[in-house]
Amino acid sequence: VTRVHVWGASGYAAAEAVRLLEMHPALEVGVLESRSHAGSAVTEHFPDLRTLPYRFSDVGSVARAIRDGDVVIAAGAHGEAAAHVPQFLAQGARVVDLSADYRFDDNAVYGLTEWNREAVAGASLVANPGCYPTATLLALLPLLHLKRARQVIVDAKSGITGAGRKPTVGALYAEVARDIRAYGLEGHRHQPEIERVLAANDTLAPLVFTPHVVPLSRGMLVDAYAIYDAPTDDEAVRAAYVRAYAGSPFVRMLEPQMAPSVAAVVGTNDAEIRVDVIGTTVRVLCAIDNLGKGAAGQAIQNINVMLGLPEETGFDARAILA
Amino acid sequence: VTRVHVWGASGYAAAEAVRLLEMHPALEVGVLESRSHAGSAVTEHFPDLRTLPYRFSDVGSVARAIRDGDVVIAAGAHGEAAAHVPQFLAQGARVVDLSADYRFDDNAVYGLTEWNREAVAGASLVANPGCYPTATLLALLPLLHLKRARQVIVDAKSGITGAGRKPTVGALYAEVARDIRAYGLEGHRHQPEIERVLAANDTLAPLVFTPHVVPLSRGMLVDAYAIYDAPTDDEAVRAAYVRAYAGSPFVRMLEPQMAPSVAAVVGTNDAEIRVDVIGTTVRVLCAIDNLGKGAAGQAIQNINVMLGLPEETGFDARAILA
Amino acid sequence: VTRVHVWGASGYAAAEAVRLLEMHPALEVGVLESRSHAGSAVTEHFPDLRTLPYRFSDVGSVARAIRDGDVVIAAGAHGEAAAHVPQFLAQGARVVDLSADYRFDDNAVYGLTEWNREAVAGASLVANPGCYPTATLLALLPLLHLKRARQVIVDAKSGITGAGRKPTVGALYAEVARDIRAYGLEGHRHQPEIERVLAANDTLAPLVFTPHVVPLSRGMLVDAYAIYDAPTDDEAVRAAYVRAYAGSPFVRMLEPQMAPSVAAVVGTNDAEIRVDVIGTTVRVLCAIDNLGKGAAGQAIQNINVMLGLPEETGFDARAILA
Amino acid sequence: VTRVHVWGASGYAAAEAVRLLEMHPALEVGVLESRSHAGSAVTEHFPDLRTLPYRFSDVGSVARAIRDGDVVIAAGAHGEAAAHVPQFLAQGARVVDLSADYRFDDNAVYGLTEWNREAVAGASLVANPGCYPTATLLALLPLLHLKRARQVIVDAKSGITGAGRKPTVGALYAEVARDIRAYGLEGHRHQPEIERVLAANDTLAPLVFTPHVVPLSRGMLVDAYAIYDAPTDDEAVRAAYVRAYAGSPFVRMLEPQMAPSVAAVVGTNDAEIRVDVIGTTVRVLCAIDNLGKGAAGQAIQNINVMLGLPEETGFDARAILA
C-alpha cells in the first residue's frame, strides 16, 4: 500500500482526493498538510468526511513525513506549488500537482491520462490538467486529429467548486443560486493551457473559449463546436472517437439519442461524450465532474498509472442522486 | 383603462402576465380562463400572487366577457390557441398569442417588438416570440444585418419555467437541481422560428442551436457566435448595436468590462447584451427573463405598442435579489 | 421628498433598502457610504440594481451630507453603528439602525412596528429588530398576551442572506446548497433580543430557540410552539390575532387551510401567519422576507411612521416567482 | 449471493436500492419490475445509474422470477403492495415493503432496525418505516424510555424526493427552489405511524408533528423537543443515548459542539444525533438521508439482518459533497 500525502489540503479537490484515497485498495492517506487548518480535525471542516479520523497537520509536515516511494498530491493555490514540489521530488516522492504551476513546464508530464499514458507511467512529476482543459481536450482531440478545424468555439459551464473554497463574494450562495454568469471574457487562464496542448498535438485551431458558472456545486459541461469549410463524414468522426477511447475505461461515448449528463458523472472519474455532425460544424458535448476527472479523480488515475496499477483501481463508487 | 383577459391562465407565463397587469396604470386584469383551475382562487395556485382577489373562470368565459376594445393574452398550450383566437378576433378583441401557433402565420404580426414596432402598432393579432428566439434574435440581428455570417452557433441556457407548469419528471426539483442538460439535440422547435425570422430579415446563415436547462427557475442566457471568413471591424460592430437599439428602452448594451447577468433581468422586461470581436468570430451574449422579455413582459410591451402607449408603460419594477 | 442616506451600504439589507427607496414616492436615495466599496458604482456590485446610477461614497460622506430632516439607515456591522449614530443624531438626522447595537438601549425605540407604532412615530432613533425576533414576536405576542405559556419552542429556518455579504466558508454556495444546518445551538444572539421584548410585554415564558440555515437566498419561516397546562380556546386564540393585527396592513392572517409561504413574501414587507390549537399546544407559523420585514422593509415602514406617512407607502411591489 | 428483486422499481427509493445492491458483496440485483417503465433500460431514466446494464421488466415479472431464498423489496405506491406481497411470500421469498401498507399490520415486523433487530432477524415480512418516523423515533426512543414527556414537538424538514418521482406541480423545480413549505398541517400520514411505535414502546406522549419541504433533493433533519415538568439530568440523558445505540454502527452520537448535518449523511445509511437539555426541555436533532436510512438504506440493513449478515455489510460508500 502506497502512502499519498496531500499538501495544501484545505480545498474541495483535496477533500475529494481524501474520499477517493479512502476507497482505494492500494493507496492510503498519509499526511494532510494545511497552513490554515493545521491542528484541527478533517471532520470539523468537511461534513461529508465526518467519519474519517484524520487531522490536518502543520506547515512542513509533508516534507517531514516523506519516505521513499511515497506520493504527494499538491493541492495548494496556483503559484505556491513551485516553491515546495522540488523538495518533495528530491526526497524521493512522486508528485501530482493540481495547480497550474507545472502545466507549462517541460520538466513535468501533462497528466491528461487518456492522451499521455506512457509519459505518465514513467513520470516523477505530473502536472494535472485543469477541469476546463480536461473536458475540452477530451472532447476535441479525436476530432482535430482527424481533421483540423477552421474555428473552434468552446462554451463551458461549471459548478462553483471549480473556484475553490477560499471565500469570495462571487461564490456566496446568494450570488450563485440566482444567476448564470459568463466570466473571464477578456481571457481566461485555461485558454492558453488548452491551446498549448492542441499545439503540442499539432491540432491547433483558432479558439474562442467562454466559461460560465452555473448554480451547481460540482459538475461541468463543455459544448465544443468545430467549424469546417466542408461537411465532415459522420461515420469517420464517430470512428475516430471510438478508436481514440477504445482503451479508456472512464470515457463513455454516448449513443446518438443520449445527452451527456452532469448528474451521471458527479462523484466519479467518468467523462460522457456525444458527437453530432451538423452541416459543416461538428458539435461535441462532454460532461465531467470538475472535482473528479477535472481534479482529484484524474490525480488518482494518474497515480494508478504511475504505480503500474490498472487505471480504474479504486473507482468503484457510482454517481449519486443528490 | 383597457381590460386584458388571459386565456389559458394556469401556467407560469400567465401568472407573470397577471403580476405585470396589476402594476400597469393603463391595463386591468379581466377574465382568467383556465380549464384545469376553473372556479378556484388564483391565490391557491400561485403563492407570489397571494394578495390578489382573482379567481379562475371556466371554459368559454373569455369569449363571453369580450367587449369591443378588450385585449386577450392567449397563454394556452401550443396547438390549442388556433381553435379559439379567431373567435376572439371576430368579437373585436386584439390578441397576443404566447404559443407557437401563429408564429409561422402571415396573418399574424411577429411580436419581436424591437424589430417590428410599426407592424405591431397596427396589428390585431400578434404572435409573441418564444424565449429562445427572442434572446437569439436580439443578439444576432444587428450583427447579421451588418454582415452575413458563414456559420452561426447558438448555445442557450434556460431556467426550467420555460418548460411550463405541466408536471413532468424532467421538471421535478430533484432532476433539475443536480444537472445541466442539453436537450433537443436532434432538432428543437425554436430553431425553425429563429431561421424564419433571419430569412425574413435577409440575414440567414447556417445555424447550430443547442438549448440547455440549468438549475434556475427563471432566466435565460444565450451565447451566440457568428463565424466569418475575415475579421470584422470592432467599432463597426458596436456601432451597429448602438444604432439598432437606440430607441429601445429595454435593451441594454453593456460596457466592455461587464457581463450580461440573469440576476439583473429576472422580473423585468430587459435584455442585456455584450458583444466581443475575437479574431474572425463575433461573440454576442444576451440575458433575458424567459417569463419576462421571453413571454409575458414582451406581451405587455406589445400591448403597449398596439394601444399607442409608451413602450415602457407599467414596467417600473426592478430585478430582485432572490 | 425626504432624503435617506445609507451608512454601511455594502450588504444585502442595504441593497434592498436602495431598491425600496427607489420605488418610494416620498423618499429618495441620498448618500451610500461604504468603506469597502467607496468610489465604485452600485451596479458593479449588485446586478439586480444594474439600472441605478448611484455610486458608493467614502467614509464620512453621510456625516458630511446630512441636512436637517434627513434620515439615515445605519446598515453597518454589529458593533460599528454606536460609534457613528450619535453624530448623525446630533446633526439633526433621524436614524434607523439595522444592527443589534441599540436593541438593548433604552434611548432607542425598538422598531417592531406593529407593536410599537406610537413610540416609533416620535422617535429620532429606532433600533430595527433582527429578522428572527421580528418573525418570532409577530407570531407569539398576540398569543402570549392572551395567556402566558409554560414553555415556548421556536424552530426557525432562514435563507443565507441573513448572514450578510461578508464572504465566509459557511455561506459559500457549495456549503449551503447541500445542507440544512442548525446553528447557534449553545445560544444565539437573537434569543436575548426575543426574551427582552417578551419581558417588556410581560409575556415572558421559558424559551428554546433553534435557528437553521436552509438552501434559500432570502426568506424565513418560524414555527413557534407554545405549550400550556390545559387546552386553549381555539376561537379566543384566533380572535386575539385578528384583533392584534386589525390595523396592520402587512400582517396576513391565513385561513385554516393555507400555509405561510416564503415564496409569498419574498420581495415584500408582508408577514403571513397561521395559528393552530393542537391539544395543549398552540402552533404558530410565520413567514417573512428576512431582508424585507426582517430588515430593510421594516426600516422603510418605520421611516413611514416616523414621517407621518401611511405605513404602506411605497410598498407596491409584489412577490415574484424566482 | 442472494438475489433481491425490486417490485415497483420506478421511483427514487428503488433507484437508491439498486445503487446499494450493486455495491453489496452478498446481494445481487434480480428483476426490476415496473409497470410504467417496463421494457426500457434503467439508464434511460436514472442518469446516476448510467453505467448499469439493467432493464425494467413487465408486470408479473417478479412473481415469475422468485426462487426460494430470494428477497423482494416492494417499492410500489402506498396501497398497492398488499395486493402482491402475499403471493411473493407464498412463493418463498422474504419481503421488505417500503410502503405504508404493512406498518400497522401485526403480521409484519416493523423494520426500525436499531429497535427491532431480533424480530427482523426472524421475519419473512418487514414493514420498512417511513423516513419521518425513522428519524423521529431514533431521536426520541432513548429519551422517552428514560422518562415519559408531558408534550413532544417534532419539527421535521425533508428534501423533496420523499414525495416520490410521480410528477406533481408541488414537486416541480420552480416550486421547491423558492420556498420552505409546511404541509400536512391538518394531519400527516406519518403521525399515526410514529404514535403507534411510541405506544408499542410504552413511551407515548402527546405529539405535535410539523413536516416541511425544503429546497433539497434528499436529506432530512428532525428537531424533536420533549417538554417535561421538571429539569432532566443531562448526564442521564446522554448515557441513555450512548447505551441505546452502543451496538448500532449507523447511529452517530455527536459531541456537544457539533450539529447534525444532512450533508454528512446523504448517500449513507447513517443517522447523526445531538441531544441538549435546556431547562425542562430536551432537544434532540437527528439527520438522515430520506432515501438512505429513511428508505432503501434501511431496507438493505434489514435484509442484512434477515440473512444473518453483519448489519453494515455493503455500506462502504461515503457521503459526497454535491
pLDDT in tens, A121-165: 999 999 999 999 999 999 999 999 999 999 999 999 999 999 999
Mark residue C8 as left, alpha or beta (left: phi above 0; alpha: psi -120 to 50; beta: remaining): left
Question: Phi and psi for C222 in degrees, rounded to 5?
Answer: -110, 125
Q: Is C150 within 8 Å of D281 when comparing Cβ atoms?
A: no
Residue in C40, C45, C173 to test binding to A, most A beta-carbons within 10 Å: C173
| Nearest C-alpha neighbor of A260 from the set A113, A163, A138 | A138
Does B47 contact D177 at a Cβ distance shorter than 8 Å?
A: no
> How close is the nearest chain D Cα to the Cα of B177, in Å?
7
Catalytic residue among B13, B18, B131, B135: B131
Burial of A87 by CB count in 10 Å (0-12 exposed, 13-18 middle, 19+ buried)? middle
Please give the Cα distance from A48 to A320 (Å, whole number).
13
| CB-based contact C169 A168, cutoff 8 Å | no
Mean of the per-residue pLDDT values for chain A? 96
Residue C321, pLDDT above cutoff 80: no
pLDDT top residue among C47 and B270: B270
Task: Answer yes or no: is the ipTM higher than 0.85.
Answer: yes
**CB-side neighbour CA atoms (13 Å) of A111:** 35
- Greatest C-alpha distance within chain A: 61
Cβ pair B153:A183 closer than 8 A: no
A185 three-class SS: coil
Q: What angle do CA B315, B321, B322 make, to 5 degrees?
A: 110
The region that residue B202 occupies, defined by phi over 0 for left and psi between -120 and 50 for alpha, beta otherwise, is: left
Whether the predicted pLDDT of C115 surpasses 80: yes
The 10 Å Cβ neighbour count of residue A201 is 14
The alpha carbon of residue B24 is apart from the nearest alpha carbon of chain D, in Å, by 25
For residue C68, is pLDDT > 70? yes
Of the residues D131, D140, D144, D300, which is catalytic?
A: D131
Compute the radius of gyration of chain C from its Cα atoms. 19
Nearest to B173 among D47, D171, D322 (CB): D171
Q: Is the pLDDT of residue A322 over 70?
A: no
* Dihedral angle of Cα D49, D54, D58, D63, to the nearest 10 degrees: -110
Q: Look at C174 and A12 and tell me if their CB atoms are within 8 Å.
A: yes
Chain B residues in contact with A214 by the CB 8 A cut-off are 157, 180, 214-215
- Strands of D181-182's sheet, edge to edge? D181-182, D207-213, D151-158, D220-227, D281-288, D271-278, D251-253
If interface means Cβ-Cβ distance under 8 Å, which residues of chain D face chain B?
12, 47, 159-161, 165, 167-169, 171-179, 215, 217-218, 322
In Å, how far is A244's CA from the nearest CA of chain C? 35
Distance from CA of A132 to the nearest CA of C (A): 19
> pLDDT tens track of chain B, all 322 residues?
999 999 999 999 999 999 999 999 999 999 999 999 999 999 999 988 988 999 999 999 999 999 999 999 999 998 999 999 999 999 999 999 999 999 999 999 999 999 999 999 999 999 999 999 999 999 999 999 999 999 999 999 999 999 999 999 999 999 999 999 999 998 877 999 999 999 999 999 999 999 999 999 999 999 999 999 999 999 999 999 999 999 999 999 998 889 999 999 999 999 999 999 999 999 999 999 999 999 999 999 999 999 999 999 999 888 887 6
* CA–CA dist A139, A45 (Å, integer): 35
**Chain A residues within 8 angstroms (CB to CB) of chain D:** 12, 15-16, 19, 22-23, 46-51, 161, 217-218, 252, 261, 263-264, 266-267, 270, 272, 291, 316-322
Shortest Cα distance, chain C CAs vs residue A254, angstroms: 29
Note the pLDDT of residue B322.
Answer: 61
- All partners of chain A with 3 or more CB pairs under 8 angstroms: B, C, D
The stretch A95-119 carries a mean pLDDT of 97
Buried b vs exposed e over B135-171: b needs ≥16 C-beta within 10 Å?
bbbbbbbbbbebbebbbbbbbbbbbbbbbbbebeeeb
Dmax over Cα atoms in chain B, in whole Å? 61
Chain D residues near any Cβ of chain A (below 8 Å): 12, 15-16, 19, 22-23, 46-51, 161, 217-218, 252, 261, 263-264, 266-267, 270, 272, 291, 316-322
Residue D211 to chain B, least CA–CA distance (Å):
18
Sign of CA dihedral B302, B308, B312, B314: negative
Instruction: Give C290's contacts in chain D (Cβ within 8 Å).
Output: none
Name every chain D residue with its beta carbon within 8 A of the beta carbon of B218.
174
Q: Which residues of A135-153 are buried (b: 16+ CB within 10 A; e: fewer)?
A: bbbbbbbbbbebbebbbbb
Closest among A294, A252, A268 to A113, alpha carbons compared: A294
Q: How many CB atoms lie within 10 A of CB C2?
A: 17
> Which one from C95, C131, C160, C287 is the annotated catalytic residue?
C131
CB C114 within 8 A of CB C140: no
Best of C172, C176, C180, C216 to substitute, by most chain A Cβ atoms within 10 angstroms, is C172
User: What is the dihedral sign for C-alpha A291, A261, B172, D222?
Assistant: negative
Question: Would the CB atoms of A173 and C218 count as touching at under 8 Å?
Answer: no
- Contacting residues of C for D208, CB less than 8 Å apart: 225, 278-279, 281, 283
How many residue pairs from chains A and D have C-beta atoms closer than 8 A? 87
Beta strand A2-7 pairing with A71-74? parallel
Three-state SS for B257? coil
Taking an 8 Å cut-off on Cβ atoms, the answer to whether A322 and B276 are in contact is: no
C-alpha cell at B180: 445541466
pLDDT tens string A162-213 = 999 999 999 999 999 999 999 999 887 799 999 999 999 999 999 999 999 9
Neighbouring-strand partners of residue D288: D220, D271
Per residue in D83-96, is it b (16+ CB within 10 Å) or e — as a string? ebbeebbebebbbb
Predicted pLDDT of residue D187: 82
> Which residue shows C-alpha cell 440581428?
B141
Residues from chain C contacting residue A168 (CB–CB below 8 Å): 167
Residue B301 is predicted with a pLDDT of 98
- What are the chain A neighbours of B278 within 8 Å (beta carbons)? 208
Hey, how many other C-beta atoms are within 10 angstroms of the C-beta on D134?
Answer: 30
Active-site positions of A read: 131
Q: How many CB atoms lie within 10 A of CB B38?
A: 17
* A254: closest CA of chain D, how far (Å): 10
Q: What is the pTM of this model?
A: 0.97
Q: C252-303, pLDDT tens digit by residue?
A: 999 888 999 999 999 999 999 999 999 999 999 999 999 999 999 999 999 9
The reply to whether C286 belongs to the active site is no
Please report residues of D whose CB lies closer than 8 A to that of C281.
151, 153, 206, 208
* Chain A residues touching residue B262 (CB < 8 angstroms): 178-181
Given a cut of 50, the residues of chain D with pLDDT beneath it are none
Q: Which of D169, D176, D218 sits opposite B165 (nearest CB)?
A: D169
- pLDDT at residue A14, as a whole number: 97
Instruction: Tell me the chain B residues in contact with residue C218 when contact means C-beta distances shorter than 8 Å.
Output: 321-322
Q: Which residue in A172, A180, A220, A290 has the most chain C C-beta atoms within 10 A of its own C-beta, making it the best mutation to test that interface?
A: A172
Distance CA D112, CA D106 (A): 15
